[in-house]
Structure 1
Amino acid sequence: MTSDPREQYLLRRRPASEKLVDVSFKNLAIVLASMVAVVLFAILIVVFWGSLESMGRYGWKFLVTSDWNPVDDQYGAFTAIYGTIVTSLLSLAIAVPLGVGTAIFITENIIPLKIREVIGVMVELLAAIPSVVLGLWAIFVLEPFLRPFLTWLNTAFGWIPIFSSAPLGPGMAPAILILVVMILPIITAIARDSLNQVPAKLRQAAYGVGTTRWGAIFNVMLPAAVSGIVGGVMLALGRAMGETMAVTMIIGNSNNFSWSLLAPGNTIAAMLANQFGEADGSQVSSLMYAAFVLIILTLAVNIFAQWLVKRLSLKY
């Protein structure tokens, strides 16, 4: 091999056609990536422009009042905002322990490999079920099955505002549980992949210093995978906030505000699905205003997720 730097440079020099391919691919990737930002910005502009009329007429009162009366031209989205936030957060509180626990159960050698593979496939199949099918299942199976328990909650703890309404059918509680079913596969799949990517040397080192299996899981494996798990949790939260069909079918679609989880409620996505097709006049602008609020909530969740994942990645 020659030691002359000039000859080495000539040997390493690439043809112009290869450089053209690299430059073209780089520019194409930049254009495609920029299109995502352009589409997002266009959606924000269209929704914001459509909501200007209601913003000027109702201002901040739109966010803190619950009147939704097209006859009197009075609109307020507090009921839908409350329903969106409560159903999303409570479903997340239930789904996170279940999802992370299922991921631990699948990734650790607690049961035979074949059974773990079957459970993993079942979780993935659960994610493939259409939301309208889950909504029908919630109407005909989940809600009748839950009603005796919800009635007992109202009888025993009716003095608590969140259990103060008698369950008469569709309501917030069944909507929360159907959201748990919908976001559980997301949390489980991402938590499982995050745990599988943790180097085996970390587990072996934990065993080497005398820890137990569960000590290694909680003190080594979960902290090492926490950034990926949190990213999956935030992705599931965004899915829960924007879910439409299944929630629309089971939440009751009531604009009458109630603190009770047993009473019918509403979410922003469900309200848009129910009313946008027949809306006219200022109602269209009010629905656009509600959609803009939903977009801002979703963006806030994603920005917080990015910040949290970065912090946890640096910490662990």
Structure 2
Amino acid sequence: MSSIPATDLASDIDQRSRRDARHDTWFRWLLRACALLVLATLLGAALSTLWGGREVLFKDGFHFLSSDSWNPVTDDYGALAPIFGTLVTSLIALILAVPVSFGIALFLTEIAPTWLRGPVATAIELLASIPSIIYGMWGLFVFVPFMASIEPTLSDTLGKLPLVGKLFDGPPLGLGLLTAGIVLAVMILPFICSVMREVFQTVPVRLKESSYALGSTTWEVVWDIVLPYTRSAVIGGIFLGLGRALGETMAVTFVLGNAYSISSSLLMPGTSISSSIANEFNEAVDTHRSALIALGFLLFVVTFVVLLIARLMLRRLSRKEGN
């Protein structure tokens, strides 16, 4: 039985170490290039929309940001109405979707029997896979007539309240900010609910069982154990749904009414940044096209600010938790 000389063995080990180090360096540079590609794509999208909207943003930027007028005939453009519609509909969607998502996730993780959890979770995932145009068609042909039938009741009841009465004062059109917000809530609910359900399942069972053993109720276990343990992830899921609502196009276009106006009533038609671009970009030329591209840049900025706020909140929560 022949033995390998010590010098050859050392040389082989040295060559293998250098090869492994070289491969590790290539792998590290490949991962770095992937990360830089994402940043370059993001920066390129932002700069391209900024450059495309330069004719409006650089020439009359303050008027564009503060005016609610939109007249392609006279080249008078203002982004205030689309920004207002985008923020209001997204806020309505968030207010409606978060409590329902929390209730569904809590039911699936703490209350529902085992045989029911799988079908309900699958149904929620199927809702997330439905294209937005389907939601828009459902909203236009089914939900808008329903809203038109109940809006007189809303005006006669909630419209007479002292503080929130103006929010429900308007004609029963069916199309409007409230309708778009509810449709958006249905769209983002599966995303928020799925995130909450997944993070609720990461809570160690021994923590919850210990709390139950001390006499805590289900609500006390959720409030004192589950939510503090998953707080950061829950907030991240909520802002993920908000980002989805801010950029939604087709579903909002069908049910929002597409009116360039700002009203205190949620029953009145409005517009959003994405729906304005979708409706008018095919016919836009020159300054009109520049105004629409500038709206795209503003949507990019609004979404970036929302995500930045989410990151700051998560970082503050992480510091409070000692991480």
TM range (shorter): over 0.9
Distance 1:285 1:27, change over 3 A: same
Query: Is residue 81 of structure 1 aligned with residue 83 of structure 2?
Result: yes
Distance 1:106 1:23, change over 3 A: same
Query: Is residue 180 of structure 1 aligned with residue 181 of structure 2?
Result: no
Q: Which residue does 1:136 correspond to in 2?
A: 137
The correspondence of residues 71-220 of structure 1 with structure 2, limited to 5 A, is 71-108=73-110, 110-158=111-159, 160-220=165-225
Task: Choose 187-196 or 153-162, whichever is displaced more.
Answer: 153-162
Letter of the structure 2 residue corresponding to residue 51 of structure 1: G
RMSD (CA atoms): 2.0
Task: Choose 168-177 or 154-163, whichever is displaced more.
Answer: 154-163
Deviations 1:73-107 (A, max 9, x none): 11111111110000001110110011111111111
Task: Choose 294-303 or 48-57, whichever is displaced more.
Answer: 48-57
Give the share of equivalent positions with the same residue, in percent. 38
Distance 1:11 1:20, change over 3 A: closer
Q: Which residue does 1:246 correspond to in 2?
A: 251
Q: Which residue does 2:4 correspond to in 1?
A: none
The correspondence of residues 223-234 of structure 1 with structure 2, limited to 5 A, is 223-234=228-239
Once residues 83 and 121 of structure 2 are traced to their aligned partners in structure 1, the CA distance between those partners, rounded to angstroms, is: 35
CA positional deviation for 1:287:
1.2
Task: Choose 15-24 or 98-107, whichever is displaced more.
Answer: 15-24
- TM-score, reference length from structure 2: 0.90
Letter of the structure 2 residue corresponding to residue 132 of structure 1: I
- List runs of 5+ in structure 1 lacking aligned partners: 1-6
Once residues 230 and 14 of structure 2 are traced to their aligned partners in structure 1, the CA distance between those partners, rounded to angstroms, is: 41
Among 292, 297, 313, the alignment partner of 1:292 is: 297
Letter of the structure 2 residue corresponding to residue 101 of structure 1: G
Among 22, 25, 29, the alignment partner of 2:24 is: 22
- List runs of 5+ in structure 2 lacking aligned partners: 1-8
Q: Which residue does 1:3 correspond to in 2?
A: none
- Partner of 1:15: helix, strand, or coil? helix
CA positional deviation for 1:255:
0.9
Task: Choose 259-268 or 55-64, whichever is displaced more.
Answer: 55-64
Task: Choose 137-146 or 13-22, whichever is displaced more.
Answer: 13-22
Once residues 58 and 287 of structure 1 are traced to their aligned partners in structure 2, the CA distance between those partners, rounded to angstroms, is: 14
Letter of the structure 1 residue corresponding to residue 20 of structure 2: E
Deviations 1:42-63 (A, max 9, x none): 1111111122211233222212
Once residues 277 and 218 of structure 2 are traced to their aligned partners in structure 1, the CA distance between those partners, rounded to angstroms, is: 49
CA positional deviation for 1:259:
2.0
Distance 1:204 1:12, change over 3 A: farther
Task: Choose 265-274 or 288-297, whichever is displaced more.
Answer: 288-297
Letter of the structure 2 residue corresponding to residue 87 of structure 1: T
Once residues 124 and 318 of structure 2 are traced to their aligned partners in structure 1, the CA distance between those partners, rounded to angstroms, is: 27
Q: Which residue does 1:4 correspond to in 2?
A: none
- Partner of 1:264: helix, strand, or coil? coil
Deviations 1:264-310 (A, max 9, x none): 11000100111111101111111122111111110001111111112
The correspondence of residues 262-273 of structure 1 with structure 2, limited to 5 A, is 262-273=267-278
Once residues 172 and 262 of structure 2 are traced to their aligned partners in structure 1, the CA distance between those partners, rounded to angstroms, is: 15
